[in-house]
Amino acid sequence: MSAQYDFQGKVAVVTGGARSLGLLTAQTLVRRGAKVVIGDVLPSGAEAVAHLNEEAPDTAIFQHCDVADTSSLKALIDVAVARFGRLDILVNNAGVFDRPWEQDQAGDYARRCIDINVRGLIDGTFHALQYWGQDEGRQGVVINLASTAAYTPMEFMAAYAASKAAVVSFTKSLSGLAPKVRVNAVAPGWVDTNLVDTEHIGRNHYTVLFAGLIEPPTVVAQIMRLIEDESMAGDIMIIRKDMEPVLCTAPKSIQIEAHMANVMRERAAAKGE
């Protein structure tokens, strides 16, 4: 049986945590005994944190954070460590849609989508890795928010689909960091959040009607599962409406390459190179 993760006393950072899926993730982490730092551009994050602290005093703080700004992300990680003394979990939840080409001919929405969904996610992960790498005893878990769009071309959100494919590849590529740092991702279909109500999508969009809407607690349950199960690293949990989640494990070739890289490092260290 796989070892199970103990949330008690752990410290988590959740980007895009002021509402919807991010807020529910933060609430669930607090209820399991963790302390949480919510990072978001929305000022409503402060109110969300106030409610969390009413439920469990001194367990949450809010930090204004634009994940497209790497210095803002670094400050988010630094605040978590300064306030709570450590960092154990990073949930890269922040994300946006782009627009169809006809509505974004200058590419402004597409660039913002890549900046938030890809560059921000990678920057946040690297800032966390820098902290965990400072001490051999530090361990961490990263959960990335991917999407089934990573596997299905979407002409009305081409940059979004590309960004989520990048998240999947990035997650799998970091499988070799385990067991010190485990990086996993959830890849849900349409989730019943405010993003669905984006002007060019809406609940009557043909893809939404075809796939159906997933309830946020279903996704959060899988986020917790990927944190809890210490055997999971580089894994993607694909979530669809009214179906059992499907675990897509890191390709064996990546695992073998990561293993060989570790062997070579150990040999070099033994030789004093």
134, 135, 264 from 272: Cα distances, Å:
21, 21, 12
Q: Do residues 67 and 15 make contact, with C-beta atoms less than 8 angstroms apart? A: yes
Q: Do 121 and 143 touch, CB atoms closer than 8 A?
A: no
The answer to whether 236 and 248 are in contact (CB under 8 A) is yes
Indicate the SS3 state at residue 27: helix
**DSSP-assigned letter for residue 119:** I
3-state secondary structure of 146: coil
Distance (Å, whole) CA 180 – CA 189: 30
Dihedral in degrees, nearest 10, Cα atoms 72, 169, 141, 191: 80
Active site residue 160: yes
Question: What are the DSSP E strand ranges found in 226-268?
Answer: 236-239, 246-248
| CA 3 – CA 178 distance, rounded (Å) | 14
User: Alpha-carbon distance 86 to 79, whole Å?
Assistant: 10
Tokens (6 digits) for 154: 């979407």
Residues involved in catalysis = 160
